[in-house]
Structure 1
Amino acid sequence: MKNNTLSFYFNLTMFVNIGRYCFVAFAFCLLLYSFIVTANLFMILVILRQRTLHEPMYVFVALLSVNALYGSAGFFPRFLMDLLSDTHLISRPACFTQIYTIYTYGAYELSILGIMAYDRHMAVCHPLHYRRNMTSRKVIKLSTLAWVFPTFAVMTCVFLSASLPLCGREIQRVFCANWNVVKLSCVNTTVNNIAGMLLSITTVFFPFFYVLYTYLRIIVVCWKASREFKGKVLHTCLPHVVSFVVFSIAAFCDVALSRNNIEEINPFLAVLLSLEVVVIPPVLNPLLYGLKMPEIRKHTVRLLSSSKR
């Protein structure tokens, strides 16, 4: 039997040597991270300060911003260090912590988007019962469910992966990913594959198909409605739809990258595809909701104007 003594470090092998341009890349990524933190904190501040925004729809938007801060904090600090480093070693505890953070970030994002779809469905399809159904207590319960269930589901998968005896230490990514670690195993990984499949069904496919179902119901309701009603629904639902589509595409690219041979893909393209899921949603969401939702945009302009005085 091969010696499967575990190394304390993994080696992230997908970093491309860009020479002196690493400082340009570092500066750009630092500015990007600064924008993510500033924009999402500002979004949370606007929603917290304005009583008129203490509605379910805006509470869920604030949760998306909280999740963006959480996910980017699990990725950017380490990534910025690696950009300036000649070696890209990451300890096993740090690697599994990063896996847990990024995977729970992704699961939280889809759970929150699923709850937002439920909220829009209730508002459009059952407007007379909306206030009675979407109470503060129900919003708290839904928000708690969006955080608690993915936490335990991802924790189980990470625990199973951390328990595997490994015969390698090279991870073909710019950050730690669960499937890339599982592929290094010296033993059969059937249990891990089943756990990963169950995780995907419960935290990815279920929210995905539920969002599709709710919007089919919304389309049916809007089909015979007036043009004014359709315009109002489109105005309130469009940011959520765009956010959901963008995150779904980014998540699909990340999964496809993990399941394929990265050596056959252009290295720069592979890096860009791997960064989509942790970069684009945190950047896009505050811009999307801040500019497209009238109430948030109005209070954002008011807050910015008052801060300049």
Structure 2
Amino acid sequence: MENGSTIRKDLELLGLKELEGLKYFYCPLLSVIYLGILIMSIVIVFVVLTNPSLHEPMYILICNLALNGIFGSSTYFPKLLMDLLTSTKTISRDGCLTQALFIMVYAYLEIMTFAGMAYDRYLAVCHPLQYAILMTSAKVIKVLINSSLVLFIVLLVSILLTARLPLCGTQIKNVFCDNMSIFILACTDTTVNNIYGIIMILVITFFFTSIIVFSYVHIYIVCLRLSKESRQKAMHTLGTHLINFSIFFLGFLFLAIRHRLGTINLPVSADVGLSMPSFLIPPLMNPLIFGVRTEALKSKMVLPFKKVDALQKLLRRIKK
């Protein structure tokens, strides 16, 4: 190690100090949000997996989005809630690196899935006659698995580059760990980390966002040719999807570039407030936007409740 630095075993999450004063407000609120994410996402995953009629590209992508929401929120909420309840403000170095890896995996899988859904809608709207050939369930599953493996390897390399660094600082200005917040604490030169991170962000993010922009621009052009009522309905759906993605993407972009801005020194509350929405809003809204509002999926979700209601009515008639 250089310059007499030492490897710190524990890192301090300064964002937890910001929430400490109102922890009895945040704990119930965050618990309800996390529980809502889990319940709605698990229901969607169960319904898609158990209904062969839903084993189609769009529903597979919705299922993947729900699974990623469960994964992403679970890398964040349980520890945050436990830390608030126990007034713990530290995390081990290994735990911090692990959480940073999982958070990056969640973020990039989210962008990848949004891109897949946008491209699926593009083919369905702009090339309906070729859709069944170009977009099959087998192709979607294959692309999701292969892309996820590639992303995991690329992101793991980024974390391993950080893990090799001796750290002199201990303070992270958030309630969770992300890769850049760790390696800026290093005592040694981090040029390799910066270059690798910039290339990774530019290549992967540009690729997936290009697919999203390309798809929705072409869908928008097609929508302009529809009747006024159909166009309004399509634009409402399109706008809802884009708003939800934008909320996630802005938080993701903030995490990716904030420490590269150099001279800008934001308060801890700003770091927390600008990064948290990516882990709160999309995982909660995705099941509602892409699940509950999708008619075929919604009908399958409410079917068990209809059966229970019908059974109760039958039992009441028998008793009479």
**TM, length-normalised to structure 1:** 0.90
Aligned 1:19-38 pairs, distance under 5 A: 21-38=22-39
Aligned to 1:94: 95
Preserved CA contact (<8 Å) 1:172 1:262: no
The Cα shift of 1:146 comes to 3.4
Instruction: Give matches, 1:131-280, under 5 Å.
Output: 131-227=132-228, 230=231, 233-234=234-235, 237-255=238-256, 257-259=258-260, 265=266, 267-280=268-281
Give, in angstroms, the shift of residue 149 of structure 1.
2.0
Distance (whole Å) between structure 2 residues aligned to residue 260 and residue 120 of structure 1: 36
Instruction: Give the AA of the match of 1:290.
Output: G
Checking the alignment, whether the CA contact within 8 Å between 1:116 and 1:240 is kept in structure 2 is no
> Is residue 174–residue 274 contact of structure 1 (8 Å, CA) maintained in 2?
no
Q: Whose radius of gyration is greater, 1 or 2?
A: 2
Q: Find the counterpart in structure 2 of residue 296 from structure 1.
A: 297
What residue in structure 2 maps to residue 3 of structure 1? 4
Instruction: Kindly state the Cα deviation for residue 216 of structure 1 after the two structures are TM-superposed.
Output: 1.6
Q: Which residue identity lines up with residue 69 of structure 1 in the other structure?
A: I
CA contact (8 A) 1:16 1:267 kept: no
Paired position in structure 2 for 1:82: 83
Percent of aligned positions with the same letter in both sequences? Answer: 32
**Alignment match, 2:317:** none
The Cα of 1:137 is off from its aligned counterpart by 2.1
**1:84-110 per-position Cα deviation (integer Å, ceiling 9, x unaligned):** 233411111111110010000000000
1:234-275 superposed Cα distances (whole Å, 9 cap, x missing partner): 476455433322221232343355446899545444322221
Counterpart for residue 61 of structure 1: 62
Other structure's SS at 1:90 match:
strand
Query: Cα distance 1:299–1:91, how it changes in 2: closer, same or farther (>3 A)?
Result: same
Structure 2 letter corresponding to 1:124: V
Q: Deviations over 1:199-224 (max 9, x none)?
A: 11233222112210122222233333
Partners of 1:246 and 1:281 within 8 A in 2? yes
Report the 3-state secondary structure (helix = DSSP H, G, I; strand = E; otherwise coil) of the residue aligned with 1:165.
Answer: coil
Closer, same or farther: CA 136–23 of 1 in aligned 2, 3 Å = same
- Quickly say closer, same or farther: Cα 1:235–1:293, change in 2 above 3 A: farther
Q: What residue is the counterpart of 1:283 in the other structure?
A: 284
Query: What's the C-alpha RMSD, in Å, of the aligned pairs?
Result: 2.5
Distance 1:80 1:113, change over 3 A: same
CA distance, structure 1, for counterparts of residue 126 and residue 290 of structure 2: 22
Q: Is the Cα–Cα contact under 8 Å of residues 164 and 182 in structure 1 kept in the other structure?
A: yes
Task: Report which stretch shifted further, 286-295 or 33-42.
Answer: 286-295
Native 8 Å contact 2:291 2:298 kept in 1: yes
| 1:15 partner SS | helix
CA-CA distance at 1:17 after TM superposition: 5.2
Please name the residue that 1:130 is paired with.
Answer: 131
Aligned equivalents of 1:263, 1:33: Cα separation in 2:
32
Deviates more, 1:141-150 or 1:226-235: 226-235
Deviates more, 1:159-168 or 1:45-54: 45-54
Deviation at 1:293, TM superposition (A): 1.7
Which string of whole-angstrom CA distances, capped at 9 and with x for unpartnered residues, describes residues 61-103 of structure 1? Answer: 0000000111111111111111123341111111111001000
Give secondary structure in 2 for the equivalent of 1:11: strand
Change (3 A) 1:95 1:238: same
Distance 1:299 1:235, change over 3 A: farther
Q: 1:107-122 to 2 correspondence within 5 Å?
A: 107-122=108-123
Give the aligned residue type for 2:303: R
Q: Write the distance in 1 (CA, Å) between the matches of 2:194 and 2:304.
A: 49
Q: Could you tell me how far apart the structure 2 residues matched to 1:146 and 1:12 are?
A: 32
Q: Which runs of 5+ in 2 are unaligned?
A: 313-320
Q: 1:228 to 1:148 in 2, by over 3 A?
A: farther
